[in-house]
């Protein structure tokens, strides 16, 4: 089982006394050359007067963009502590038993615009960069990462279950191989019998599912049907219903998590 998450927009900086980034210590070492290039390009652009415009963020986030300039020296912490948005708050990946943490480290991957891939235990600084950015010196980041992520994830995903909780921008950076059982997790809200796509609830619910998958007893689900069965344990508590879409000719199968 491979659970793919997007990073959170909200990030909590590591304590000032924490050690700085060590790129060579990150998992998926094959990504290091691309990480170096993207990091250098981000540091360079973040010092420009038009940095916020280039990175596609509001002027209110100028301090976070300016912090990018010192990323190589910035204090770093585990990704499970740095990412603190809605999804990660619900997943609680920094508050797991040793057994569940080991399962999360093995199964969960964060697809990142800056680092490519991270485990929950990889140690990184807080940063500001999204996958939809056309980064000077690199180009569109999703395209820049597509080949390297294919090399890193292709063998692991081929023939296995990929639980895709990424947003559209991060899905663009890697598509599982044809041999994978690829399941796209969708969250719908039902009110008075009518269903609609929701954003905040989607992040929270995907986080709840992620935590459930790494903390539940028993072996990991191996296909879409077993994933739907595992998710059905949340019905009546977190979920109103779990529905698995038909097997498509190509692409992802859809698992709909319905909330009220």
Domain range for residue 215? 2-259
- Say what the alpha-carbon torsion angle 16, 51, 118, 139 is, to the nearest 10 degrees: -160
Surface-to-core class of residue 144, CB atoms within 10 Å of its CB (0-12 exposed, 13-18 middle, 19+ buried)? buried
- Taking the C-alpha atoms of residue 13 and residue 123, their distance in angstroms, rounded to an integer, is 12
Whether the per-residue pLDDT at 81 is higher than 80: the answer is yes
Number of domains in the chain: 1
Task: Please tell me the pTM assigned to this model.
Answer: 0.96
Average per-residue pLDDT for the chain: 96
Whether the per-residue pLDDT at 190 is higher than 90: the answer is no
- Taking the C-alpha atoms of residue 46 and residue 55, their distance in angstroms, rounded to an integer, is 8
191 pLDDT band, cuts 50/70/90, is: confident
The pLDDT score that the predictor gives to residue 84 is: 94
pLDDT in tens, 130-176: 999 999 999 999 999 999 999 999 988 999 999 999 999 999 999 99
Cβ–Cβ under 8 Å, residues 78 and 120: yes
DSSP 188-220: EEEETTEEEE-SHHHHHHHHHHHHHHHHSSSPP
- Pick the range with the lowest mean pLDDT from 106-110, 197-201, 230-234: 197-201
Angle made by CA atoms 183, 187, 192, in degrees to the nearest 5 = 140
């Amino acid at each position: 089982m491979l659970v793919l998450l997007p990073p959170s927009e909200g990030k909590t900086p590591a304590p000032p006394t924490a050690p700085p980034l060590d790129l060579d210590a990150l998992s998926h070492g094959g990504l290091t050359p691309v990480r170096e290039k993207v990091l250098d390009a981000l540091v360079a652009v973040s010092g420009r007067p038009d940095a916020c415009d280039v990175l596609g963020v509001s002027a209110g986030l100028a301090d976070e963009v300016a912090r990018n300039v010192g990323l190589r020296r910035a204090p770093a912490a585990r990704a499970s502590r740095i990412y603190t948005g809605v999804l990660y708050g619900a997943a609680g990946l920094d508050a797991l038993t040793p057994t569940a943490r080991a399962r999360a480290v093995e199964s969960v991957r964060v697809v990142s615009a800056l680092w490519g891939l991270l485990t929950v235990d990889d140690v990184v600084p807080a940063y500001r960069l999204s996958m939809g950015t056309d980064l000077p010196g690199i180009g569109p980041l999703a395209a820049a990462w597509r080949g390297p992520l294919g090399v890193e994830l292709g063998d692991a995903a081929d023939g296995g279950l990929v639980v895709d909780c990424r947003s559209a921008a991060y899905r663009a950076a890697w598509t599982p191989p044809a041999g994978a059982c690829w399941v796209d997790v969708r969250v719908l809200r039902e009110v008075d019998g009518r269903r609609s796509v929701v954003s905040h609830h989607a992040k929270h619910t995907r986080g709840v599912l992620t935590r459930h998958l790494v903390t539940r007893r028993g072996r990991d689900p191996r296909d879409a049907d077993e994933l739907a069965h595992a998710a059905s344990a949340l019905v009546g508590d977190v979920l109103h219903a779990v529905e698995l879409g038909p097997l498509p000719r190509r692409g992802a199968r859809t698992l709909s998590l319905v909330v009220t």
